Structure 1
Amino acid sequence: MENNILHGGKRAHTIKHKDYVPTVSDNFSANVVVDGSTVNFGLWDTAGQEDYNRLRTLSYRGADVFLLAFSLISKASYENIANKVRAF
């Protein structure tokens, strides 16, 4: 499996995982200087399964941006994400 990670907004790096193990959530953080001010970018990767709906909403508090991911080759994946957006 390949994951693309955007680094510094300028280039994408590809990381290959031999054995993917799904998690309920994971988070990443980086401090970036923007116009002379340090900004903390935090990314919370949460599980998409319905079993985790209540747990997932805890990570929304204080969020300024949401990134929604879906498969470009699966119409069902797109429809699923569209339904989740309507729930807000």
Structure 2
Amino acid sequence: WIWTKKAKGLQDIRPTVRWAKPNFAVIGRIFTLGLPIASALFFEVTLFAVVAILVSPLGIVEVAGHQIALNFSSLMFV
């Protein structure tokens, strides 16, 4: 806060003194966009974690191979 108050180049992003009421239409639009993305990421991470737990009785090498495959597929997805 102090840096944005003192810096000349950051004058346009200074925090306002008065707070505005929340705009529920904008919050709703953000929520409708973010909820599917967040749920997809949640289920993807949960699925890979459950698979890692299910593979764990097979041994350390198999779990390590699963983690390598998961990291590689995540890298290719990005």
TM-score by length of 1: 0.25
* Higher helix residue share: 2
State TM-score, norm by structure 2. 0.27
